[in-house]
Structure 1
């Protein structure tokens, strides 16, 4: 199979495979090694071809790891990095909101009752709590978040 790309399309492809490989690299589930390796191998192949096709200023070779990668200078201003940063930011806030709302629900109904609920039931019962946390974090970030240690631990 042969594909032809314009210079712009090749640049987009380079960013896409690098973004996918970066996200995949966070997968630490048992058995994920093969999938992560496939992403990294495809990234390596695309980056190597792109380097020889004129994108060499954006791609460097790590002798120690024996792999190509996008240069930090290129990553800093890239759309790929903006997407990755935005993804991480959104996941952080969503996970924080959901976990705090779940914690509050479990406290209110008891851990056993909470464990007996499906994910859908939990989300429907925590909608108001999640909304309240979203409003708080949208307005104040983590400025008003505090950890209260049990006596003797803080």
Structure 2
């Protein structure tokens, strides 16, 4: 690999690319159309592991001519922790945002949804989002229930 990367920087680059690959492919174990270039770049980066002194992190499968992270990599990377934190933060942000959006639009007069500007929307949604944030901060999902109307 023609670069000035140190072994540690290469390891960090592996983590970044692993996390990006996880985001692209983790919900598509059978593969995903349109991401072949990303997969090829990942394979290329993995192919430099021996040259970079990181052969314990990447396994070269001679039968398939593909590279895979080793168990050692998976046991020592921070990537899974960062992915989990990201997923957790995204879950709460999306839940709060979607519940607030629902509540804002439920309180509007019919036909008003399409005419409300973004500033008015935020003015209405921010206190609702804050209320949900405080609720979930204190009680997580413990008090969240579906109710029949």
Give the TM-score, by structure 1 length: 0.76
The size of the alignment, in residue pairs, is: 146
Bigger mean CA deviation after superposition, 37-46 or 59-68: 59-68
Is residue 88 from structure 1 mapped to residue 110 from structure 2 by the alignment?
Answer: no
Give the TM-score, by structure 2 length: 0.79
Contact in 2 for aligned 1:19/1:80 (Cα 8 Å): yes
Shift of 1:134: 0.5
1-structure distance, mates of 2:21, 2:123: 34
- Show the 5 A alignment for 1:56-75: 56-61=55-60, 67-72=66-71, 74-75=73-74
| 1:122 counterpart residue number | 121
- Show the 5 A alignment for 1:28-107: 33-34=33-34, 36-51=35-50, 53-61=52-60, 67-72=66-71, 74-107=73-106
- List alignment gaps of at least 5 residues for structure 2: none
Deviations 1:56-91 (A, max 9, x none): 322235689764232355334422222211111111
Structure 1 pair 77–96 and aligned structure 2 pair: CA distance change class (3 A) = farther
Deviations 1:86-142 (A, max 9, x none): 111111100000000011111111463224335554233200000000001111111
- List alignment gaps of at least 5 residues for structure 1: none
**Greater share of helix residues, 1 or 2?**
1
